[in-house]
Amino acid sequence: MHEQKKEKLIVIGNGMAGISTVEQILKLSDSFNITVFGSEPHPNYNRILLSYVLEGSKTVDDIVLNDWNWYKDNRITLHTTTTVTHIDAENKQVTTDKGNTECYDKIIIATGSNPFILPIPGSDKEGVVGFRDISDCNQMIAAAQKYNKAAIIGGGLLGLEAAKGLVNLGMDVTVVHLMEDIMERQLDHTASSMLQAELERQGIKFAMRKQTSELIGGERVSGLRFSDGSILDSELVVMAVGIKPNIALAKASGMEVERGIVVDDYMRTSFEGVYSVGECTQHRGVCYGLVAPLFEQGHVLAKHICGVDTLPYEGSIVATKLKISGVDVFSAGEFVEGPEHTVIAAKDEWKRTYKKILLHDNVIVGAVLFGDVTESSNLQKLIRQQSEMTDDIYNTVMGTGCCGDGAKKKASVETMSDDEIVCGCNGVTKKTIVDVITDQGLTSVDEIKACTGATRSCGGCKPVVEQILQYVLGDGFKTASKKGICSCTSLDRDEVVAEIKAKGLTTTREVMNVLGWSNAEGCSKCRPAINYYLGMIYPESYEDEKESRFVNERMNANIQKDGTYTVVPRMYGGVTTPEDLKTIADVSLKYDVKVIKVTGGQRLALIGVKKKDLPKVWEELDMPSGYAYAKSLRTVKTCVGSQFCRFGTQDSMSMGELLERKFERLDLPAKFKYAVNGCPRNCAEACTKDIGIVGNDGGWEIFIGGNGGIKSRIADSFCKVKSDEELIEICGAIMQYYRETGKYLERTSEWVERISLEQIQSAILDNLDNRKELVNRIEIALQQVEEPWRKMLNDDKTRTALFEDNISAISVE
């Protein structure tokens, strides 16, 4: 028996819409030989997450949806950096820009869209870019390293995401928008105003109701001239005014096109055997630019092309659920009220939330949510089903019901129908998720994502997926949901450290390769953690990986919401001199530092230093960094103690300076703070510090595990000591034990509760040999950190290289 000959399917476009359709086809049929042509040099990646690549919190590899091996494993031929220029429908072959031809039986066109570049004078200047692909991201990242001012033309989603990324890279960013409201196509005036206010708090500036008439400058852009004659200085201009379907191929081939490639309800074009899906497509007069409709089209097309019965595609109810610069927004259906609507609205300015539901003849026809979008999936379903408003729906959506939040979530999951779509991006239903949990024994959201695609694109459905997982597993959820140090691995902290020691692993890449990381390059969670663990295990031989550090650590300063930086010099024990104060004042005036803040750690923070000025500021201050950005000893807060206070029994200032000088620069799992008091009056607030020390007539009392932050905790009394030498020894042993047993980013307040006070006391107070070993190990670690720091202080080239380094690899926490 001869094997049936497979049809040749060519997919033109390697983006999300086309490859998602291919994924569906692979699930339904094995009857195609598939070839994919993509204009970019990358495998299929998640365009929705480009803003995270821009800001530096993700790398290109982090956003790849289907890597090179996926094409190989599914016997798909992929031609990257290749553009199809013509379809010969009569002879059933395509021609590429490289002059090659290839025959086909069927074609799927998924060429997406292009950014719309305003046809104004100067739009062809250097420094003018769109925001559509990885190449655009790379251009913006490079510009942020050389230039200070950026303008984003367009206040829609893309423009705001670009602005967020460039602010995070340290640029002075202004969003220029023609309309009165940002995101006016998705949000009403109230939600738009709330979003703009929040983004302004994060450092983004806005020029509203401004029409750009010209881009000025020489070879490179230097500014924008508006129609009212005013000028905005800018060395980088990002065009984010919209997209237009990429119909060049279809038009050149003689296919029927209007605004997009015209298709019917089964995504068929005017050419026999040629289909179109995604942003390049026009269905019933509509071109969709959001991701969910593109996947809905792909599901219909996949079934149709495989000969599986399917309902026709009849269009999509557009719903938008987004996280813009950390702010959740949602809209669906109609969102601007008219005289025909009944409006249900609630605005909470303190919690910065807003809800609005529109009814037409008591039918739910639209909604807008800002800040709290927990009911977005429910509202989208109600709008799609044209449900009538009831008291129960009102109480659930507006949050006026009597049940607690947990009960509401459980009830919401229980009442969801099996065919309700949970992940709109990938068309994954509740039943699909429940089935893979029960049939395949899945126990985590990441496993569900790998199996079904749910949460893989925008991630907005992740809370609902987790609720379903919890609902199905019941009491087994907590045990089953043991998490690795990040989504790249199932190994937790202790397992990773044990494997490093057992296998003698010495670099982050070696750890990830040998221990089977799912993401070969790691992520912004695991790379800094592995870097820390390796340095802690091998203090004498490990070479710190600067690229695995967070931006703040790499820049030796804290980035602020406006893109400038805060510089905090070290002031040992909170004590300084008139000479140092004068230096700080002189440098601040010279570099236009607007604010000098006295911090809670008894230091001075220079707020508003420009990125380009950081090397010179540090050079002219000629003071050690206070490490206000580091996972290390930040501050030692002291009272004036027995040197000056009539109540003081111990010299707290001298002890504080001694401890700070001894332990500064040493890497720790998280930031670390001391307080040293000269008497039990506790003016330096030992009760809320990682190590708090209180002097008394007989010596010192040590407290550990305090925290005055989000998770406040009063420190536990650890022990009393009689001498300064014993105090320093025990403090060193505590810090080293924390270094060796703490999870990365775990504060001592959490560490003490996890390990237990009794176990820490046993390891340090009861076992004197172990204490000596801990002290010896911390001394070895301290010896290693001293010379590199002195070298950086004394070597101008080393310091300049540090500050001018590419900061895009790991974002600010």
Q: Which residues are annotated as a binding site for [4Fe-4S] cluster?
A: 639, 645, 679, 683
Task: Tell how strand 106-109 and strand 7-12 pair up.
Answer: parallel
Which structure tokens are listed for 68?
């090179």
Side chain identity at 223, as an amino acid letter? G
Among 718, 658, 657, 710, residue whose Cα is nearest residue 687: 718
* Cross-strand partners of 172: 149
Decide: 269 and 109 in contact? Cβ < 8 Å. Answer: yes
Are the C-beta atoms of residues 457 and 46 closer than 8 Å to each other? Answer: yes
| Contact predicate 189/181, CB 8 Å | yes
Give dist(CA 626, CA 635) in Å, integer.
7
Query: How many angstroms separate the CA atoms of 535 and 127, rounded?
Result: 41
* Binding positions for siroheme: 683
- Antiparallel, parallel or unpaired: β 93-96 and 32-37: unpaired
Beta strands in 301-362 (DSSP E): 319-324, 327-333, 342-348, 353-360
Q: Quick one: which H or E segment has residue 291?
A: helix 291-305
Residue type, 788: P
State the pairing for strand pair 64-66/44-45.
Answer: antiparallel
How wide is the angle at C-alpha 392 spanned by C-alphas 386 and 394, nearest 5°? 70
Read off the DSSP letter of residue 339.
T
Tell me the one-letter amino acid at 648. G
> Which 3 state secondary structure label does DSSP give 424?
coil
The position carrying tokens 């559509």 is: 132
- State both tokens at 143: 């510009």
Q: Where are the beta strands (DSSP E) in 218-300?
A: 221-226, 231-233, 236-239, 243-245, 261-263, 274-276, 281-283
Closest CA to 157 of 396, 306, 330: 330
Token pair of 44, please? 């299929």
**How long, in residues, is the chain?**
813
Please report, in range form, the residues annotated as the binding site. Answer: 639, 645, 679, 683
Query: CA Rg, the chain, in Å?
Result: 30
Query: 479 by DSSP, 3-state: which?
Result: helix
Q: How far is CA 449 from CA 116, 290, 452, 797, in A?
A: 33, 21, 5, 46
Total Cβ atoms within 10 A of residue 267: 26
Q: Assess contact for 175 and 182: CB atoms under 8 A.
A: yes
Site of tokens 């490179």: 220
CB neighbours of 317 closer than 8 A, spacing ≥ 6? 332, 333, 380, 383, 384
- 340: number of Cβ within 10 Å: 11
- Going by the DSSP 8-state scheme, the letter that residue 489 receives in this structure is B
**Degrees (nearest 5) of the Cα angle 391, 397, 398?**
85
Q: Side chain identity at 45, as an amino acid letter?
A: Y
**Distance of alpha carbon 173 from alpha carbon 236, whole angstroms:** 9
Burial 648-664 (b: 16+ CB within 10 A, else e): bbbbbbbbbbbbbeebb
* Strand pairing class (149-153; 236-239): parallel
Nearest CA among 530, 492, 456, 511 for reference residue 70: 456
* Closest C-alpha to 511, from 546, 548, 478: 548
- In the DSSP assignment, the letter for residue 465 is H
